[in-house]
Amino acid sequence: MGRVVRTAVSWLTARVCRVAAAWEQFWFTPADPIVLGVMRILVGGMLLYTHIVWGTNLPAFFSERGWMSPALMDVFQRGELIFSFWWYVPEAWHVTAHGVCLCVICLFWLGLWTRVTSILSLIISISYSYRAQFANYGLDQVNTILTFYLAIGPSGATLSIDRLIQRYRTARQSLSVGATPNFERTPCVSTGLATRLTQIHFCVIYFYAGTAKLQGAAWWSGDAMWRAFANSEYQSTDMTWLVWYPWIVNWMTHVTILWELSFSATIWNRTLRPFVLLMGVCMHFGIGAFMGMWTFGLIMTFGYLAFVPPEIMQRALSCLHRHKVVVRRLNVAESRDVRRAAWRLAFDGANHVRIVFGVKDVAVGETAELKIDDQLMASLMANSAEETATKVSASVRLVATPVNGHKRNGHSPTIPVNSRLNLAEERPVEMDRAKLARPIARPITLREETKVGTAIGTEPQPTIPVAKAIAMRPLSRRCVLCLERDAAIQLRLFRYFTSRGFRCLLAVEIADAIEQACDSYPDAILVMGTQLNDGEIESFHAQCKDAECNAPIVYVLQADQRQRIGNWLESDHTAILDAAPSLGETRRLIEQMLAHNKRGHPAEMSL
């Protein structure tokens, strides 16, 4: 009996744990705020427009002798827990109060002090809605809902003035010490929460909009859409031609209700999602075009953005930028130049500007070591040496060779460096972002190949010993590659490292880990060896050596594993931990190794 109870309790505990984990994963997975940023611009714009329109006739809607007198509102709102600051603003101050509200909403729209202005915008939206309650409709409801969720998430973390200021400060701080700033956004839990809440709320909206229609005979008989089009107070386009094609009306009615009823289920299917959203966009744009409710149609489609994955949004936004890389040289001794460069980097949301620090002269024939990020490297790889050289008026040409000898297409790319380059000069290099590798820094060597003036496409010029040693530090967060077979531990590792500012790559198999180590150039590798056999660990270690992967490797081994193969794995770049260390100590060890590796790096030494 006791055994049965224990089994039942154990089974129940496992179930509860699984549900709790799924709940946490659904609601609290960190997400990139790019989607909220785009939604803030669109919803904030709509909120601003809505309130500007209120302002066209303030006395009619907000004064005591307007459409909705205090006595009237008291009859309808008595006993309800509602708040509107309009009840406390004297009539003489209505225009001023409205102006202040518009300013606050405008700041929210632009993304300045967003954490505060988003909450104030929500209060403003609620206050206007309750004061002029009988003049509201779906637009105001959805406006408030979306503003509420934008106030929960960090909607000003991107595409905002807040972000611009933050980028400027980061850039200035980093540039003043000769480092390339790291602008990468950290995924954040409140973003995921706000996005999920928006998604669920839209499911609720459509589910009840659909089920409420089931009570009406016209939605069953197929005539409901005609009744909507035949309402001449709504109608903005003459749709009476539809009487000659009743089957179109029937189809539109049935499809509308089926779509609304199924939205909350089909939207979660990745394959169906684009079609479901497209159908919704068509329906709401139809409402806008034929029934004149463009504002309502648009605000509903703005909410659909919550269903768009951040990476797709980022890719869509990248298409808006011109694909070019601009290389700039900076003298960190000039604070004015640093400020200017910081502003340029702050405005460069697409990270097209590369700052090159001129720190040391290199004589002709010498080799200089530099660290360069993969985006610039890939841009150079994507263009042949000749192509690159003809696009810039370079006076010196340097050959860039990765330190570990990694070459593509059998040749080394060429970096043109102009000694007379200053901040006023832009040097665009056309690039294909699709070919970009992940933005992880790795060392490459520069070797001056020719004398001045030999760059293809330029006239010969006098020789000047101007080639500069350059240091470019990583543009992105530090990256840890974790080799682990247990999915639960993988998830913990991922969440732990990402929440601590790392980028985390995960691999299950040895081959996958080696491929990622070669392609993504992680800063450190964590091998959870407890689920690997000795042969696999040795094989991984050997393959890393063969691939000339210089990243420090931390092996987590069982005591007996350590005895058997520990000595073989020991090296300057490796560390071995006894099984199951705490995450914090593993991270600290990785940070120590990275710091040690950084101090010993020749490029950093040259600074």
Partner 1 sequence: MTITQPEFDAGHDVPSLGDEPSRSPRWLKRAGFGLVNVWLCYHLFAIVIAPASVAPSSRVEQRGWEFAAPYLQLMYLNHGFHFFSPEPGGSTLVSYVLEFDDGSTKTGRFPNRQIWPRLMYHRHFMLSEFLGGQSPERQQVLVRSYARNLLRENKAKRVTVSRVTHYLASMERIRAGGSLNDPDSFEEEPLGTFTWDAL
Restricting to residues 173-202, name those near partner 1 by CB under 8 A: 185-186, 188-190, 193, 197, 200-201
Integer angstrom CA distances of residue 391 from 322, 330, 383? 16, 21, 10
CA 310, 316, 317, 322 dihedral sign is: positive
Binding of partner 1 at residue 4 (CB under 8 A)?
no
Residues 385-404 that bind partner 1 (CB under 8 A): none
Residues 348-377 that bind partner 1 (CB under 8 A): none
Integer angstrom CA distances of residue 79 from 127, 160, 384? 17, 40, 75
DSSP 29-96: --B-THHHHHHHHHHHHHHHHHHHHHHTTHHHHHSTTSSS-HHHHHHHHTT-----GGGGS-GGGHHH
Q: What angle do CA 431, 432, 434 make, to 5 degrees?
A: 150
Contact 414/405 with Cβ under 8 angstroms?
Answer: no
For the bound state, the minimum distance from the C-beta of residue 62 to partner 1, rounded and expressed in Å, comes to: 11
> Closest by alpha carbon to 552, among 534, 574, 530, 570?
574
H helices of 56-160, where? 58-62, 70-77, 94-110, 114-131, 138-152
Distance CA 349, CA 162 (A): 13
Residue 26 burial (CB count, 10 A): 12
The one segment of 53-61, 334-342, 387-395, 403-411 that binds partner 1 by CB under 8 A: 53-61
Count of positions (residues) in the chain: 607
Supply 251's token pair.
């189809």
The one segment of 322-330, 419-427, 511-519, 584-592 that binds partner 1 by CB under 8 A: 584-592
The one segment of 68-76, 422-430, 514-522, 534-542 that binds partner 1 by CB under 8 A: 68-76
Binding of partner 1 at residue 499 (CB under 8 A)?
yes
> Closest by alpha carbon to 303, among 197, 153, 185?
197
The one segment of 45-53, 99-107, 357-365, 511-519 that binds partner 1 by CB under 8 A: 45-53
The one segment of 317-325, 342-350, 487-495, 514-522 that binds partner 1 by CB under 8 A: 487-495
Distance CA 507, CA 327 (A): 35
Binding of partner 1 at residue 69 (CB under 8 A)?
yes
Binding of partner 1 at residue 218 (CB under 8 A)?
yes
Element (H, E) at 442: strand 441-448
Binding of partner 1 at residue 501 (CB under 8 A)?
yes
Binding of partner 1 at residue 580 (CB under 8 A)?
yes
- The partner residues of 527 in beta bridges, in order of sequence, read 483, 555
Q: In a 10 Å sphere around its CB, with 0-12 CB exposed, 13-18 middle and 19+ buried, how is residue 502 labelled?
A: buried
The one segment of 101-109, 127-135, 169-177, 353-361 that binds partner 1 by CB under 8 A: 127-135
Q: Which is nearer to partner 1, 324 or 564 (CB)?
A: 564
Q: How many residues bind partner 1 (CB under 8 A)?
A: 103
Binding of partner 1 at residue 326 (CB under 8 A)?
no
Residues 428-467 that bind partner 1 (CB under 8 A): none
Q: Which is nearer to partner 1, 299 or 381 (CB)?
A: 299
Specify the residue for token string 């089926």.
258
Distance CA 226, CA 240 (A): 9
**Options 36, 157, 171, 346; binder of partner 1; rule CB under 8 A:** 157
For the bound state, the minimum distance from the C-beta of residue 26 to partner 1, rounded and expressed in Å, comes to: 10
Contact 308/36 with Cβ under 8 angstroms?
Answer: no
Element (H, E) at 561: helix 559-569
Binding of partner 1 at residue 600 (CB under 8 A)?
no
Q: Which is nearer to partner 1, 142 or 353 (CB)?
A: 142
**Options 50, 458, 490, 561; binder of partner 1; rule CB under 8 A:** 50
**Options 205, 283, 399, 506; binder of partner 1; rule CB under 8 A:** 205
Residues 259-318 that bind partner 1 (CB under 8 A): 292-295
Binding of partner 1 at residue 66 (CB under 8 A)?
yes
Q: Going by C-beta distance under 8 Å and a sequence separation of 6 or more, which residues neighbour residue 411?
A: 385
The one segment of 144-152, 268-276, 455-463, 516-524 that binds partner 1 by CB under 8 A: 144-152
Binding of partner 1 at residue 130 (CB under 8 A)?
yes
Contact 574/441 with Cβ under 8 angstroms?
Answer: no
Binding of partner 1 at residue 232 (CB under 8 A)?
yes
Q: Which is nearer to partner 1, 132 or 469 (CB)?
A: 132
The one segment of 386-394, 466-474, 490-498, 537-545 that binds partner 1 by CB under 8 A: 490-498
3-state secondary structure 388-402: HHHHCCCCEEEEEEE
The amino acid that residue 343 corresponds to is W
Q: What angle do CA 585, 591, 593 make, to 5 degrees?
A: 105
Residues 249-268 that bind partner 1 (CB under 8 A): 249
Q: Which is nearer to partner 1, 332 or 579 (CB)?
A: 579
Q: Going by C-beta distance under 8 Å and a sequence separation of 6 or more, which residues neighbour residue 519?
A: 437, 438
For the bound state, the minimum distance from the C-beta of residue 66 to partner 1, rounded and expressed in Å, comes to: 5
For the bound state, the minimum distance from the C-beta of residue 107 to partner 1, rounded and expressed in Å, comes to: 20
For the bound state, the minimum distance from the C-beta of residue 169 to partner 1, rounded and expressed in Å, comes to: 14
For the bound state, the minimum distance from the C-beta of residue 286 to partner 1, rounded and expressed in Å, comes to: 13
For the bound state, the minimum distance from the C-beta of residue 485 to partner 1, rounded and expressed in Å, comes to: 15
Q: Which is nearer to partner 1, 442 or 477 (CB)?
A: 477
For the bound state, the minimum distance from the C-beta of residue 552 to partner 1, rounded and expressed in Å, comes to: 10
Distance CA 471, CA 593 (A): 21
Residues 507-566 that bind partner 1 (CB under 8 A): none
Distance CA 460, CA 479 (A): 43
* Through-space distance between the first and last CA atoms of the chain, rounded to whole angstroms: 73
Distance CA 132, CA 68 (A): 7
Strand 553-557 relative to strand 574-578, pairing: parallel
Q: Which is nearer to partner 1, 240 or 269 (CB)?
A: 240
**Options 170, 182, 235, 543; binder of partner 1; rule CB under 8 A:** 235
Binding of partner 1 at residue 575 (CB under 8 A)?
yes
Specify the residue for token string 């407890």.
530
Residues 78-97 that bind partner 1 (CB under 8 A): 80-83
Q: Which is nearer to partner 1, 66 or 280 (CB)?
A: 66
Contact 308/317 with Cβ under 8 angstroms?
Answer: no
**Options 41, 165, 213, 604; binder of partner 1; rule CB under 8 A:** 213
For the bound state, the minimum distance from the C-beta of residue 436 to partner 1, rounded and expressed in Å, comes to: 25
